[in-house]
């Protein structure tokens, strides 16, 4: 799982400069750390196996360089790593891992087994770690490393309690495997869930890997992008304007092979699509950004969840130019796909976040409510009248689709349904869990609502479930993604503020800020305008000043 260089405990002057922190939050984070170790070890094939969403078993195996028996005792030491040695190494990191914390953090909350052998050894080694006790013994092993994690969080029940359902945790693991398989198409990936092989991706070209991960129909609609200048190179694939999705789940960005998620990169990707793609749709993309590692600070977050670029404007500008060039054969159709009513202002730059980046494109100042249904606000281009229900509905819809934290209900809310309602609800429980609404059968017609998505957590759980039940008949013949969107629309509509609700100045400002931060704030999910802009120029014309 590590490079050929021997494992060493970092000296204090290096260790204290590392933004260290807990790397084990859920099964997907364990899989992420182990896959990164495998890739750093030069693996050409990586296999991931999980059971019960990763709670009872996680196994990541590779054919990399392996760990020598002499180094194995150090593998569980904190700040023990083969990947960096000095402060200079820390400032130009070329590996995915470097903190030397993953295995020690995993061993602290699970039963851990490492089976490994290097090419120079005739016999492999097995390490068992359980409750602080570590045993190392000789064992038969192929070249490479297999790490098995059992009973995750067995000794920290409070942390285990806040995990999602095994199905949802398993889906997060699947997304992690897909993300790294897209980042490293030359490496074979395999995922086994509860004994069933669910994903197999042999070594391939980048476009072939997109087909394996996202579907052949998606790969057929992708076009290449490329841009190179000095130490900066951008390459990958983006979708033609004929293909788009409601959310940004089909957008993948990698900085020097490290997966990142960034609203800022997404904005720069999407700008050239204005007038080519309906404003409510998002392009798909697999984008690799490569630059001198000395220009990327990966040591800004305890869990490697952020990177900072020292030449971020160059990166964002290059991405937009690369996309614009690739889309040149596709003319704009502004009359069919109008741009937003106001352009995005200069966005804040600096940190590329793995989590969804929140930013304000425009700052609107509320002046008051009209008929307790519309917010009248002052904007940089004139007067903005916002439909408070449509705007709040759109904000909630975007957040539900993009996923995020859930709020456990303590105690869970018990709901009695009719036999027909229970029969209708059962097949959609996994889809609801994916949106963050965790509903669990508790008898033949009784269900427990255990958690709600954070964006709608203040809503009445029973009212929210009733709204979902009303929508289910229309979801039966839909594809899963379309059904997910429809349920998110219903939940957002139910939870949003209504026309007639009196809002305080603080509530109006919060809604306007959320609207400006939303991905596509022009309309609500049903297509109604979320706001109307009355520009200063239009006012001057009406008052005959022009």
Query: Tens digits of per-residue pLDDT, 319-373?
Result: 999 999 999 999 887 666 655 433 363 333 333 433 333 333 457 899 999 999 9
Which pLDDT belongs to residue 325? Answer: 94
Write the CATH number for 165. 3.30.565.10
Q: Looking at the 3D structure of the chain, how many domains does it have?
A: 3
**197 and 238 together in one domain:** no
**60 and 191 together in one domain:** yes
**505 and 404 together in one domain:** yes
Write the CATH number for 382. 3.30.1370.100
Which pLDDT belongs to residue 317? Answer: 83
**Helix and strand counts by DSSP (H, E) for the chain:** 17, 25
Q: Is residue 542 part of a domain?
A: no
Could you give the 3-state DSSP secondary structure of residue 90?
helix
**Domain boundary residue among 176, 203, 230?**
203
Q: Are 337 and 276 in contact (CB under 8 A)?
A: yes
Q: Are 453 and 487 in contact (CB under 8 A)?
A: no
**216 and 144 together in one domain:** no
β partners of residue 81: 8
Could you give the 3-state DSSP secondary structure of residue 334?
coil
Which pLDDT belongs to residue 97? Answer: 54
Which pLDDT belongs to residue 496? Answer: 95
Report CA 302 to chain centroid distance, whole Å.
17
Which pLDDT belongs to residue 304? Answer: 52
Angstrom CA distances, 366 to 276, 379, 382, 431, 506, stand at: 33, 9, 12, 37, 9
**Domain boundary residue among 142, 169, 203?**
203
Q: Is residue 380 part of a domain?
A: yes
Kindly report the three-state secondary structure assignment for every residue of 383-425: EEEEEHHHHHHHHHHHHHHHCCCEEEEEEEEEEECCHHHHHHH
**168 and 256 together in one domain:** no
Query: Tens digits of per-residue pLDDT, 32-85?
Result: 999 999 999 999 999 999 999 999 999 999 999 999 998 888 888 765 555 444
What is d(CA 157, CA 167) in angstroms, rounded to the nearest whole number? Answer: 19
Which pLDDT belongs to residue 401? Answer: 83
β partners of residue 147: 60, 114
Q: Is residue 491 part of a domain?
A: yes
Q: Are 451 and 409 in contact (CB under 8 A)?
A: yes
**111 and 161 together in one domain:** yes
Q: What is the pTM of this model?
A: 0.61
Q: Is residue 478 part of a domain?
A: yes
**136 and 246 together in one domain:** no
**Domain boundary residue among 203, 229, 244?**
203
Q: Is 508 exposed, middle or buried (0-12, 13-18, 19+ CB in 10 A)?
A: buried
**266 and 149 together in one domain:** no
Query: What does DSSP say about strands 188-193 and 45-51: parallel, antiparallel, or unpaired?
Result: parallel
- DSSP at 11: P
- Within 10 angstroms of residue 20's Cβ, the number of other Cβ atoms is 17
- 37-73 exposure pattern, b = at least 16 Cβ within 10 A, e = fewer: bbbbbbbebbbbbbbbbbbbbbbbbbbbbbbbbebbe
Phi, psi of 58 (to 5 degrees): -135, 130
Query: Tens digits of per-residue pLDDT, 435-458?
Result: 999 999 988 889 999 999 999 999
Per-residue pLDDT tens listing for the chain (546 residues): 444 556 555 454 333 333 333 467 889 989 999 999 999 999 999 999 999 999 999 999 999 999 999 888 888 876 555 544 444 444 445 566 544 577 888 888 899 999 999 999 999 999 999 988 899 999 999 999 999 999 998 888 867 776 778 888 999 999 999 999 999 999 999 999 999 999 999 999 999 999 999 999 999 999 999 998 878 899 999 999 989 888 888 999 998 888 887 667 888 898 899 888 887 788 999 999 988 877 675 655 445 555 666 666 778 888 999 999 999 999 887 666 655 433 363 333 333 433 333 333 457 899 999 999 999 999 877 888 999 999 999 899 888 987 778 889 989 999 999 999 999 999 899 889 889 999 999 888 899 999 999 999 999 999 999 999 999 988 887 778 778 888 999 999 999 999 999 999 999 999 988 887 654 445 677 767 788 878 887 788 788 886
**283 and 243 together in one domain:** yes
**339 and 377 together in one domain:** no
**321 and 385 together in one domain:** no
- DSSP at 7: P
**12 and 129 together in one domain:** yes
What is d(CA 54, CA 74) in angstroms, rounded to the nearest whole number? Answer: 26
Q: Is residue 359 part of a domain?
A: no
Q: Is residue 538 part of a domain?
A: no
Which pLDDT belongs to residue 519? Answer: 45
Q: Is residue 364 part of a domain?
A: no
Write the CATH number for 242. 3.30.230.10
Which pLDDT belongs to residue 295? Answer: 67
Q: Supply 489's token pair.
A: 């629309």
Which pLDDT belongs to residue 351? Answer: 38
Domain that holds residue 321: 208-353
In this structure, the dihedral spanned by the alpha carbons of residues 314, 315, 316 and 320, taken in order and rounded to 10 degrees, is 100
Q: Is residue 520 part of a domain?
A: yes
Provide CB contacts within 8 A for 146, sequence distance 6+.
Answer: 59, 60, 61, 62, 114, 115, 116
Provide the CB-side half-sphere exposure for 457 (13 A, CA). Answer: 15
């Amino acid at each position: 799982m590590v490079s050929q260089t021997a494992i060493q405990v970092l000296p204090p002057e290096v260790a204290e400069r590392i933004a260290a922190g807990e790397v084990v939050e859920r099964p997907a984070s364990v899989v992420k750390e182990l896959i990164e170790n495998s890739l750093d070890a030069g693996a050409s094939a990586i296999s991931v196996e999980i059971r019960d969403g990763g709670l009872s078993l996680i196994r990541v195996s590779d054919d990399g360089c392996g760990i020598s028996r002499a180094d194995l005792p150090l593998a569980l030491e904190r700040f023990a790593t083969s990947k960096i040695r000095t402060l200079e190494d820390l400032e130009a990191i070329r590996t995915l891992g470097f903190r030397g914390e993953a295995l020690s953090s995993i061993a602290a909350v699970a039963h851990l087994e490492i089976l490994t052998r290097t090419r120079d050894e005739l016999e492999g080694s097995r390490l068992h770690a359980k409750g602080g006790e570590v045993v190392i013994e000789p064992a038969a092993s192929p070249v490479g490393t297999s790490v098995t994690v059992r009973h995750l969080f067995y000794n920290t029940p409070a942390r285990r309690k806040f995990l999602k359902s095994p199905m949802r945790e398993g889906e997060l693991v699947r997304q992690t495997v897909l993300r790294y398989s897209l980042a490293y198409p030359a490496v074979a990936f395999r995922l086994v869930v509860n004994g069933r092989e669910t994903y197999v991706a042999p070594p391939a070209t980048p476009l072939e890997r997109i087909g394996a991960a996202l579907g052949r129909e998606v790969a057929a609609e992708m076009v290449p992008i490329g841009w190179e200048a000095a130490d900066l190179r951008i390459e990958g694939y983006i979708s033609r304007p004929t293909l788009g999705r409601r959310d940004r789940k089909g957008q993948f960005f990698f900085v020097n092979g490290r997966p990142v998620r960034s609203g800022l990169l997404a904005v720069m990707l999407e700008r050239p699509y204005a007038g080519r793609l309906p404003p409510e749709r998002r392009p798909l993309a697999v984008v690799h950004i490569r630059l001198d590692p000395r220009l990327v600070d990966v040591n800004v977050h305890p869990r490697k969840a952020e990177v900072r670029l020292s030449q971020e404007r160059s990166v964002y500008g290059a991405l937009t130019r690369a996309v614009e060039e690739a889309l040149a054969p596709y003319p704009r159709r502004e009359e069919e796909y109008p741009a937003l009513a106001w352009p995005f202002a200069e966005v804040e730059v600096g940190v590329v976040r793995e989590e969804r980046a929140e930013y304000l494109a425009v700052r609107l100042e509320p002046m008051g409510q009209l008929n307790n249904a519309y917010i009248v606000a002052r904007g940089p281009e004139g007067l903005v009248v916002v439909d408070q229900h449509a705007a709040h509905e759109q904000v909630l819809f975007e957040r539900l689709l993009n996923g995020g934290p859930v709020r456990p209900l303590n105690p869970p809310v018990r709901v009695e349904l009719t036999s027909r309602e229970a029969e209708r609800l059962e097949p959609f429980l996994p889809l609801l869990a994916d949106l963050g609404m965790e509903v669990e059968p508790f008898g033949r017609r009784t269900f427990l609502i255990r958690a709600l998505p954070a964006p709608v957590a203040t809503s009445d759980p029973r009212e929210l479930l009733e709204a979902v039940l009303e929508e289910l008949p229309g979801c039966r013949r839909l594809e899963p993604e379309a059904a997910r969107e429809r349920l998110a629309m219903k939940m957002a509509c139910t939870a949003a503020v209504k026309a007639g609700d009196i809002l305080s100045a603080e509530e109006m400002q919060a809604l306007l800020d959320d609207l400006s931060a939303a991905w596509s704030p022009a309309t609500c999910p049903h297509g109604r305008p979320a706001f109307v802009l009355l520009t200063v120029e239009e006012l001057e014309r009406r008052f005959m000043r022009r």
